[in-house]
Amino acid sequence: MVDVGSKPDQHRIARAAGKITLQPGTLQLINENRMKKGDVLSAAEIAGIQAAKQTSRLIPLCHNIPLTRILVEASVEEDGVGVTSEVRCVGRTGVEMEALTAVSVALLTVYDMCKAVDKTMQIGGIRLLEKIKADTGTPGASEPIG
């Protein structure tokens, strides 16, 4: 692990996104909450939150960070389900991995819940949208990605 002991505590925020493409019939089942495994969007959001909290256990050499906020939103789009996450902490290292893990596991949850009815699903576009860090007590400067 990288030594971050000499770094100051800062407010840190990371936002990530990704998507899973689905057949129109699958999207209709999700919209009507008729999937056999239950509410796909809610399950994906909860799975993403749980995953962000477990990132340091999943990814070698990743710091265990005390997170202050995790927001995961899954929504039906024209050709699939989009997932976004926002993770916050006050700490010495960023929360990019937590935000990316949240999106990845949320999308995998959609896949798992829909695999019985859709054999064409594709997960993609998982990316970091933004990371922000600021000294505690002062406004932060955004570092857009891409």
- Name which of 36, 146, 138, 39 is nearest 90 in CA terms: 138
**Residue among 9, 39, 79, 112 flagged as catalytic:** 112
Burial per residue of 24-38, b for 16 or more beta-carbon CB atoms within 10 angstroms, e otherwise: eebbebbeeeebeee
Could you confirm whether 39 is annotated as catalytic? no
Residue numbers annotated as active site:
112
